[in-house]
Amino acid sequence: MVAVDSLGERGIINLLRQRLELMPNMAVPFGDDVSAVSIDNSDDGGEVAVLKVDMLVAKTDVPAKMCLYDAARKAIVMCVSDFASKGVQPVAALVALGLPNCLATVESVVEIVDGLNAAAREYGAYIVGGDTGETGDLTISVSLYGKAFKSVLMLRDGAKAGDVLAVTGVFGKSSAGLRLLLDDSYVASSRARLVLENAVFRPVARLVEGLALSKSGCVSASMDSSDGLAWSLHELMRMSNVGFTLDLVPVAVETVEFAQQNGLNAESLALYGGEEYELVLTVPPEKWDAAKKAVEEVGGKLIAIGRATEHREIVLLQAGGRKQVINHCGYEHFTS
């Protein structure tokens, strides 16, 4: 028997994809950030119900020092981030809450419910239902529902060679923050520690940015970066059949400082971190100014980091014109 350990989380998802009878005429390809079902039964261009489930498991997704309120909030943020990457407003959330006995107190449940509610409201959604059961470890599965015109969905498969590659923020804070939280041998200035740990405790989904980008009509492909920047780039490459040349890796200054102090590579922390919720997207060059303006008008940032290319490889241009290949690697459950 082949163990899932050797399959990895995506191996399991691939197995699902292979063995499931797929819905005909799905508005979004299986494996994109969200699923979508036609509301009005029109073949094209009509409205779709947008659906997504994301599962948070304490053992793998919640560091010991993270409070229950923040863990519950994160479960919502993870799922909202997928909606953000498609440019869809989440409307309603359902929560399946698996509670272990050690959290079986009113105090704990109140903290979890308050975190869920606050996060849903933070992104304009309401929790409309749920279920609960007794589990060995805290698990919070969040399902989101929203509605959108199919034509405004920013899918993973539309990037063209020549498009500008962009992100909505800098990377590497969560991976540095996680190291600080899990291993006392890492050091950081108190200011950097605050920023880096806060990135783990209070991640932000780029919903206003995603909605603005979708509305602008400037985006050719988009996904979120919850599995790491490198992973997202490889996914966009695979789905859009393009490559990418990066002029820079967008690293947070606190991560640069952390890397220097701890003898680590800052770019690796930014590329292979995961648990970050920036959007990674492409914009045709003639639409770049409009896209940037749209994001800045809602208080966000759009950082150009490279270009889509015809060759299916992902390379980082370094000083002196050297090229470094960026490998397909990111955080994945069942393989650690």
Residues 25-84 binding its own copies (CB under 8 A) are 26, 30, 34-35, 37, 39, 49, 51-57, 59-61
Kindly identify the residues of this chain, within the stretch 143-162, that bind its own copies according to CB under 8 A.
143, 145, 147
The CB-of-320 to its own copies minimum distance in angstroms stands at 43
1-7: long-range contacts, CB 8 A cutoff, minimum separation 24 = 4/334, 5/334, 5/335, 7/334
Kindly identify the residues of this chain, within the stretch 153-212, that bind its own copies according to CB under 8 A.
none
Pick the stretch among 21-29, 163-171, 295-303, 308-316 that binds its own copies (CB under 8 A). 21-29
The CB-of-290 to its own copies minimum distance in angstroms stands at 29
Phi and psi, residue 25, nearest 5°: 55, 40
* Residue 262 contacts residue 252 (beta carbons within 8 Å): no
Residue closer to its own copies (CB basis): 34 or 246: 34
Cα angle 241-243-246, degrees, rounded to a multiple of 5: 150
Pick the stretch among 20-28, 179-187, 196-204, 267-275 that binds its own copies (CB under 8 A). 20-28
The CB-of-224 to its own copies minimum distance in angstroms stands at 13
What amino acid is encoded at 12 in this protein? I
3-state secondary structure of 97: strand
Q: How many CA atoms lie within 13 A of 293 on its CB side?
A: 8
Residue closer to its own copies (CB basis): 118 or 182: 118
Q: Which of 166, 142, 295, 148 is CA-nearest to residue 220?
A: 166
Q: Which of 310, 171, 154 is CA-nearest to residue 244?
A: 310
Residue of the chain from 121, 202, 311, 312 that contacts its own copies (CB under 8 A): 121
Residue of the chain from 21, 43, 44, 184 that contacts its own copies (CB under 8 A): 21
161 CB contacts (<8 Å, ≥6 apart)?
Answer: 242, 308, 309, 310
Q: Are strands 139-149 and 126-134 parallel, antiparallel or unpaired?
A: unpaired
Kindly identify the residues of this chain, within the stretch 267-306, that bind its own copies according to CB under 8 A.
none
Separation CA 258–CA 174 (nearest Å): 12
Residue 191, burial from CB neighbour count under 10 angstroms (0-12, 13-18, 19+): exposed
Residue of the chain from 42, 65, 67, 126 that contacts its own copies (CB under 8 A): 126
Residue closer to its own copies (CB basis): 140 or 176: 140
Size of the site for its own copies (CB under 8 A): 73
Helices 173-182, 253-262: axis angle to 10 degrees equals 40
The CB-of-43 to its own copies minimum distance in angstroms stands at 16
Residue closer to its own copies (CB basis): 288 or 334: 334
What amino acid is encoded at 21 in this protein? E
The DSSP-derived string for 161-198 is TTPEEEESS-B-HHHHHHHHHH-TT----HHHHHHHHH
- Tokens standing for 57? 């498991």
Residue closer to its own copies (CB basis): 168 or 226: 226
3-state secondary structure of 327: coil
Kindly identify the residues of this chain, within the stretch 83-112, that bind its own copies according to CB under 8 A.
91-92, 94-99, 101, 103-107, 109-110
Q: Does 332 bind its own copies (CB under 8 A)?
A: no
Residue of the chain from 43, 44, 133, 325 that contacts its own copies (CB under 8 A): 133
Residue of the chain from 63, 124, 130, 162 that contacts its own copies (CB under 8 A): 130
The CB-of-185 to its own copies minimum distance in angstroms stands at 26
The CB-of-146 to its own copies minimum distance in angstroms stands at 9
Residue of the chain from 134, 299, 321, 322 that contacts its own copies (CB under 8 A): 134
Phi and psi, residue 118, nearest 5°: -60, -40
The CB-of-110 to its own copies minimum distance in angstroms stands at 6
